[in-house]
């Protein structure tokens, strides 16, 4: 059975939501603490949101040096699917596993609301089960989600089709409305919105399921069609 490592740093607060969704989709999930050096044979890695190490200095700046990050970098280099959500995205950029940086929101407001995301590529560990142009309703919950990168990096991301999802209505000032990007291998994806909080109609949207299913598909999961 597909096993997903859900990484927890001191200050992570979305790990149980991820465990819930992964389990609901028929895979198993294991919370992996930041100070271990092995992913324990996981088939995919989820870096959950929150405020790792209090977001001191910068979001992700301290988490990047945690022992588990070497194992994640190695897993990613071997092509293993790695998805960072919100604070997880910030950690992946600080760790140089994804390009760019997340800055304070343009309006200096903490934004907590449902947003619409347009799928820009279906060739990534998070969107393989969706179609380009699909609009997904997924909530955001962040203060530092304003994606920033150099003009050269943006040109590269665009020409290599590495922008995974874009905001329909930009909530935070992100360059080119970027909500999520992937690495060159397309197996490492980071995004600010929280698909795990849009996985049940009770939560106002279940559009996040297609993303979580994509990740499990990338991990080699064999899911029931109706899962």
Partner 1 sequence: MTFDVAVEVRLRPGIADPQGATVERALPALGFEGVTGVSVGKSIRFTVQADDESAARALVEDVCHRFLTNPVIEDSVVVLSPAVAAPVG
Catalytic residues: 86, 194, 196
**For partner 1, how many residues bind (rule: CB under 8 A)?**
20
- Asked if residue 150 binds partner 1 (CB under 8 A), the reply is yes
> Interaction with partner 1 in 175-214: which residues (CB under 8 A)?
none
Residue placing its CB nearer to partner 1 in the complex, 96 or 222:
96
Q: Does residue 108 touch partner 1 according to CB under 8 A?
A: yes
What part of residues 40-79 is at the interface with partner 1 (CB under 8 A)?
57-58, 61, 65
* 79 contacts 51 by C-beta, under 8 angstroms: no
- H/E stretch holding 23 reads helix 15-24
Q: What angle is formed at CA 189 by the lines to CA 184 and CA 191, rounded to 5 degrees?
A: 135
Integer CA distances (angstroms), 44 to 50, 126, 201, in order: 19, 11, 25
The Cα–Cα gap between 3 and 148 comes to: 33
| From candidates 10, 11, 26, 173, binder to partner 1 by CB under 8 A | 173
* By the rule CB under 8 A, 118 interacts with partner 1: no
Output DSSP code: residue 177. G
**What is the number of other CB atoms lying within 10 angstroms of the CB of residue 20?**
14
Q: How far is the CB of 6 from partner 1 (least distance, A)?
A: 25
Report the C-alpha gap between 60 and 74 in whole angstroms: 18
Residues in Cβ contact with 6 at an 8 Å cutoff, skipping those fewer than 6 apart: 15, 18, 19, 22, 29, 30, 31, 32, 46, 48
Q: Which C-beta is closer to partner 1: that of 58 or that of 137? A: 58
Q: Which of 101, 212, 215, 221 binds partner 1 (CB under 8 A)?
A: 101
Q: Is 107 in the site for partner 1 (CB under 8 A)?
A: yes
Which residues, 6+ apart, have CB-to-CB distance to 144 below 8 Å? 55, 59, 90, 102, 103, 104, 105
Burial grade of 38 (CB within 10 A; 0-12, 13-18, 19 or more): middle
**Nearest approach, Cβ of 124 to partner 1 (angstroms)?**
21
Between residues 37 and 150, which has the closer beta carbon with respect to partner 1?
A: 150
Q: Does 103 bind partner 1 (CB under 8 A)?
A: yes
**CB closer to partner 1, 100 vs 139:** 100
Report d(CA 95, CA 99) in Å as an integer.
9
Residue placing its CB nearer to partner 1 in the complex, 90 or 214 = 90
Instruction: Work out how close the CB of 201 gets to partner 1 at its nearest, in angstroms, rounded to a whole number.
Output: 35
Supply the minimum distance, in Å, between the C-beta of residue 187 and partner 1: 22
Q: Interface with partner 1 by CB under 8 A: which residues?
A: 57-58, 61, 65, 93-94, 99-101, 103-108, 146, 148-150, 173
């Amino acid at each position: 059975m597909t096993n997903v490592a859900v990484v927890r740093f001191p200050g992570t607060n979305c790990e149980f939501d991820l465990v819930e969704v992964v389990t609901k989709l028929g895979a198993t999930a294991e919370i992996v603490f930041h100070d271990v050096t092995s992913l324990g044979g996981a088939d995919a890695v989820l870096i959950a949101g929150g405020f790792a190490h209090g977001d001191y200095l910068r979001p992700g700046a301290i988490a990047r040096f945690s022992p588990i990050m070497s194992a994640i970098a190695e897993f990613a280099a071997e092509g293993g699917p790695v998805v960072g959500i919100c604070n997880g995205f910030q950690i992946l950029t600080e760790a140089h596993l994804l390009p760019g940086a997340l800055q304070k929101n343009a309006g200096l407001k903490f934004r907590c609301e449902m947003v619409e995301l347009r799928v820009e590529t279906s060739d990534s560990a998070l969107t393989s089960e969706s179609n380009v142009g699909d609009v997904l309703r997924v909530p955001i919950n962040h203060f530092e989600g304003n994606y920033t990168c150099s003009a050269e990096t943006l040109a590269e991301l665009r020409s290599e089709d590495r922008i995974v999802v874009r905001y329909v209505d930009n909530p935070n000032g992100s360059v080119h409305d970027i909500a999520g990007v992937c690495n060159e291998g397309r197996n490492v994806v980071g995004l600010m919105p929280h698909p795990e909080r849009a996985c049940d109609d009770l939560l106002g949207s279940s559009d996040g399921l297609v993303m979580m299913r994509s990740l499990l598909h990338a991990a080699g999961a064999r899911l029931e069609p109706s899962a």
